[in-house]
């Protein structure tokens, strides 16, 4: 089993995250798949321990704070 975390982002962070390698799907060890785009919405990606995530999350906080 593994652990994943999701980030709900907005532009321009969402595009930047995707360019940097963030994915919307994960395949678990069991072979099951989770697609955040389907499960949660198109503004969600799986986090991947990027140092840029803080800035992307800050953009969301500043927008909705």
The domain ranges of the chain are 6-64
Full DSSP string of the chain: -----EEE--TTHHHHHHHHT-BSEEE-TTS-EEEHHHHT-TTEEE----TTHHHHHHHHHHHH-
> pLDDT class for 2, splitting at 50, 70, 90?
low
- pTM of the full structure: 0.88
Q: What is the pLDDT of residues 34-62, one digit of tens each?
A: 999 999 999 999 999 999 999 999 999 99
pLDDT of residue 3: 84
Contacts of 14 (CB under 8 A, 6+ apart): 43, 45, 56
């Amino acid at each position: 089993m593994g652990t994943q975390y999701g980030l709900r982002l907005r532009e321009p962070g969402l595009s930047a995250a995707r360019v940097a390698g963030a994915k919307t799907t994960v395949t678990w060890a069991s072979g099951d798949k989770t697609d955040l785009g389907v499960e949660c919405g198109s503004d969600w990606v799986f986090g991947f321990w990027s140092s840029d995530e803080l800035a992307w999350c800050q953009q969301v906080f500043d927008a909705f704070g």
